[in-house]
Amino acid sequence: MYALIDAFPQQLTEALTIGRNAQLKPADGPYSNVVVTGLGGSGIGGRIAAQAVAHEAICPIEVYSNYYLPAYVGKGSLVIASSYSGNTEETIAAMEQALAKGARVVVITSGGKMLDMAKEKGLDHIVIPGGNPPRTMLAYSLTQQFFVLKHFGIINTDLAPAIAGAAKQLATDKEAIKQAAKDLTDKLFGKRLVIYSEASTEAVSIRFRQQVNENSKELCWHHAIPEMNHNELVGWAGGKDDVAVVIFRHKEDHERSQIRMEINKDVFRKYTPHVHDVWSQGASALGRQLHLINLGDWVSFYWAEKKGVDPSEIAVINMLKGKLAEMK
Out of 101, 174, 307, 321, pick the active-site residue.
Answer: 321
Q: Is 202 a catalytic residue?
A: no
The beta-carbon contacts of 177-186 under 8 Å, at least 24 apart in sequence, are 177/291, 177/294, 177/295, 177/298, 178/298, 180/295, 181/295, 181/296, 181/298, 181/299, 181/301, 181/302, 182/298, 182/302, 184/246, 184/276, 184/278, 184/295, 184/299, 185/299, 185/302, 185/303, 185/306
SS3 166: helix
Q: Is 230 a catalytic residue?
A: yes
Q: Is 274 a catalytic residue?
A: no
Out of 230, 270, 323, 328, pick the active-site residue.
Answer: 230
End-to-end CA distance of the chain: 32
Evaluate the CA torsion angle 68, 71, 75, 77 in order and state its sign: negative
Out of 90, 198, 202, 214, pick the active-site residue.
Answer: 214
Catalytic residues: 214, 230, 321
